[in-house]
Chain A
Amino acid sequence: MIADKKELANALFEIGKFYFFNERYDEALRVLKKSADLNKKEPETYYQMGLVYEAKNESMPAKEMYLKALELNPRLSVAQEHLDRLVGK
């Protein structure tokens, strides 16, 4: 059952990326949130959500997502780079 949840989370993550690449940001967020609900430990999902928010120019939730991604994986350098840019480092 746990494996199923993870697989479903992964599938939703891929769908979220597909929407992101097609600039359908609201749909991307909808499925990425579902993916994060199913697997709260995946930093890439939060990074991806950060990207979507940033693409929508919503910097507050974008920062929250990058911080969450870094909390789960402090070595996720892409998330750190985006966060630095948003806070103006």
Chain B
Amino acid sequence: MRQFAVIGLGKFGLAVAKTLTEKGCQILVIDSDEERVREAGEFAASAIQMDATDEEALRKVGFESIDVAIVSVGENLESSILITLLLKEIGVKEVISKALTAHHAKVLQKIGADRIVFPEREMGIKVAEHLISPDILELIRLSPDYDLLEFTVPRGMNGKTLKDLALRTKYKVNIVAIKKRVPYVNDAGESEFREEINPTPNGDDELSAGDVIVMTGETKMIAEFRKEVQK
């Protein structure tokens, strides 16, 4: 399994570190703040309190076994740039750096960051897209021309089967999964529902308003399909 290091334990860094740990990865975390290191030390395989801009100290940590380092000290541009540069010099195979602005990203790219992420910008775009189209739950751009879209089945499609809708023929899109909420009574006797996913939908599967479908296809064809169902 690949080894990860997270440098900078703000909200973003901590979330990355926690998720990697939950997925079973062994991670090393570094921050200059004692309290944050203590918090991350509760789950991380190794937690070090240090100034990561100190080249000598950073070299001593031993990044030889680290495959990917995530630099999440975006608020301090100077530190973020310096740490990214040092990690590349030390020879970390892949360095992912968090950027705050386009200028920051440009510098990170020049000094060799392998990937640059804009968590706030990306989340801002997602929130805005959801506000414009509340029925779109997730939109992943697979390439400039292809999307993966997760959206709520509108009333107009209620009771129709995939065969009835003939989406593949009309819009050249594929339905890759259907999520349904299935009511049940829980152990405490309360009404509840659970999400059930049909990962291999076929033509006879019937849709209900409120189901969630996951589709892939060409961006312009998906837009055409959405225009049609919103009529």
Residues of A near any B CB (own CB < 8 A): 17, 20-21, 23, 25, 47-48, 51, 54-58, 78
The contact of B152 among A21, A25, A57, by CB within 8 Å, is: A57
**B184 to chain A: closest CB distance in Å?**
8
A51 and B152 in contact, given A25-B210, A56-B209, A57-B212 (Cβ under 8 angstroms): no
Interface residues on B, range: 10 to 19
Nearest chain A CB to B15 CB, angstrom units? 13
User: Whose C-beta in chain B lies nearest to the C-beta of A26?
Assistant: B209
The 8 Å CB contact of A54, one of B135, B188, B193, is: B193
**Interface 1/0s, chain B 202-225, versus A by CB < 8 A?**
000000111010000000000000
Q: Which residues of chain B from 172 to 220 have any CB-CB distance to chain A below 8 Å in the complex? A: 181-186, 188, 190-193, 208-210, 212
Residue in chain B with minimal CB distance to A17: B191
Q: Which residues of A sit under 8 angstroms from B210, Cβ to Cβ? A: 25, 55-58
Please determine whether A78 and B183 come into contact, CB atoms closer than 8 angstroms.
no
CB of A32, distance to nearest CB on chain B (Å): 11
| Cα separation A47 to B188 with both chains bound (whole Å) | 15
